[in-house]
Structure 1
């Protein structure tokens, strides 16, 4: 049971966050990839993402076991709205926080030895922190970035509903509807939790953070000295994943043609040679090469020689086109 203890000042200091927190979604989505629960909501996303994850996820999963405690420093307080801000906050984690959280992780998972690089992380090594930040960035790019707008839409809808509840019925009604297990009886909010855990707000207020990938009861930090936050699951549309595919594929196909749009998406999954790209797309090598030439001329991908091979990588313009942030190149013809 999680018990959050309010003072008379804390109700006026509750903050209802309007947007998804990138670092919390990274952490919580890593659990959704390792558990079968929520297949109706996450099954298609899980099947699409899992084969594309390489070593990017290893550092993250080492610090967040499938069940139980995950280090608090993976979700920095006040990390900002962008991935760059989140990873910068991660790089700025103090040595004391790193060491304390990693020691706590070892204590709570005695049969799960930590990889050797975490020793450097516990010492505050800038290289180890950069390695972790790069791993988080790679994970986000593969697992969340293609779907981020849909995720934000679900969170925004939840926020708007709770804001209306607040206006009509007050904070008590908001707190009582955060989760089916929520029991509000001033000055205490009780919620289902894996273990007994008490948070005494003592005038610090409480951040209510909606989360798309939070599944089951709400979650929070283990360290009660950190800024109090309650991360709770939002209501999600069953067709959220399908909507991302319909929007993305139809728009790209209309602009580039189905084959070329598919090639661009596959290059975005990860840098590759023409032969690797042909294998991913199920195309003859010559056809893949022709598509690459057109996309490169449109500045949607770049190619560089590495020894005896040529590696293709998506450009910033190509990424923006996939995300719908810019109109595509006007010179591309349809296939």
Structure 2
């Protein structure tokens, strides 16, 4: 179990990221190629990614360079996920390139080689080899991460809606408690129940950046070095896939037709509980439950428990549908009105595992 210790200043400096961190997404997506766990959530991405890597002749680079440098194991190098990644891909890759040679050597020496020998891995500490690594990371991101940027952002927007509600109703204490059961908030300590390492991290005024991640699966991840700027990368909730229907009289499509559900779908854009939707539409709780089930079964909303009620938010498909019909702006809202990235103003690694790796082109 990992224990993260907060001071009052750390609570004031706890933030929730507004966008995907491209290097954390990149690293986590490489882990998806190394296991079949969680495959259902990434099936569409995987079906597109493998041929795209083949078309761009990146399969060998992924196998021989990127996966060995970033294995799905209890440790992978911190320098590959710098804090600057929160500012965008270019800033993150510049930080990777600028990492001191001795630090790169130290971190790579801790990596268990996968498919290459240790000396080959350690050569990445040299400036020329690191430049090749950065070019490979950029090409990989362009091929298989960038095409899903809008999908990732839509899920993060929905996630921020849910966490904003927890914050507005319960302050920072409510926000941190909302991550149960994967994390336990026992003030002033946040416990990562299933983390592979048994250690404590004292923030000492540095604060914590919470980063929801599309490609992170099952367990939250942190940087390994306790003295680095601290982030907590945690998995987003993915909508369950549904079997495609080819018949024109699809009961799901037929059930979605009508203005009532359009109003309810728009209401979910800023997050809404079943009782709030009932008040907005004037329908009974039973009718709301019927309609939200249809929206959920169609993959348009996500629902989760919130203080004894169901809290509904949009999936990427739901957000895209609203945008197409001009019910949302070009970019869906990142939070409910008035929610700041800095949550302080309100009152108060991955896991090694089994599973068959995925064949790459």
TM-score of the aligned structures, taking structure 2 as reference length: 0.61
SS at match of 1:146: helix
How far is the alpha carbon of 1:15 from its aligned partner?
1.2
Aligned partners of 2:69 and 2:199: how far apart in 1?
Answer: 21
Matches within 5 A, 1:199-238: 199-238=201-240
- Please point out which of 97, 121, 126 is paired with 2:124: 121
Residues 212-244 of structure 1, C-alpha deviations (whole Å, 9 max, x = no match): 11111100011001001111111223359x9xx
Contact 1:207 1:228 in 2 (8 A): yes
Aligned: 1:74 with 2:80: yes
1:274 is aligned to none
Q: Could you tell me how far 1:117 is from its partner in structure 2?
A: 4.0
RMSD over aligned Cα atoms:
2.2
After superposition, the Cα gap between the structure-2 partners of 1:96 and 1:139, relative to the gap in structure 1 and judged at 3 Å, is: same
1:150 deviates by: 0.7
Correspondence list, 1:43-192, <5 A: 43-53=43-53, 54-58=59-63, 59-105=65-111, 109=112, 114=117, 116-122=119-125, 125-191=126-192, 192=194
8 Å CA contact retained: 2:109, 2:122? no
CA distance in 2 between partners of 1:96 and 1:146 (Å): 35
Match of 1:30 in 2: 30
Deviation at 1:179, TM superposition (A): 4.6
User: For 1:168, what is the secondary structure of its paired residue?
Assistant: helix
Contact 1:118 1:128 in 2 (8 A): no
Pairwise CA distance, 1:63 = 1.3
CA shift, 1:183, in A, is: 1.2
Unaligned runs of at least 5 residues, structure 2: 54-58, 245-329, 331-361
Q: Structure 1: 5+ residue runs without aligned partners?
A: 243-324, 326-335
Higher relative contact order (CA 8 A, sep 6+): 2
Q: Residues of 2 paired with 1:51 and 1:36: CA distance?
A: 18
SS in 1 for 2:196: coil
C-alpha separation in 1, matches of 2:17 and 2:157: 9
Describe the shift of the 1:190–1:66 C-alpha distance in structure 2 as closer, same or farther (beyond 3 A): same
Query: What SS is found at the alignment partner of 2:217?
Result: coil
Q: SS at 1:41's partner residue?
A: helix
User: 1:33, 1:50 within 8 Å by CA — same for their partners in 2?
Assistant: no
Q: Deviations over 1:132-176 (max 9, x none)?
A: 101111211221111111111111211222122111111122212
Q: Which has the larger radius of gyration?
A: 1
- Number of residue pairs matched? 237
Measure the CA separation in 2 of the matches of 1:211 and 1:114: 31
Cα distance in 2 for partners of 1:110, 1:233 equals 26
The residue number in structure 2 matching 1:261 is none
For 2:88 and 2:60, the matched residues in 1 are separated by: 23
Task: Give distance in 2, aligned partners of 1:6 and 1:14.
Answer: 10
d(CA) in 2 for partners of 1:136, 1:101: 18
Instruction: Report the TM-score, using the length of structure 1 for normalisation.
Output: 0.66
Query: Does the Cα contact within 8 Å between 2:20 and 2:86 map onto a contact in 1?
Result: no
- Contact 2:183-2:191 within 8 A present in 1 as well: yes
Question: What is the DSSP-based 3-state SS (H/G/I as helix, E as strand, rest coil) of the residue aligned with 1:208?
Answer: strand
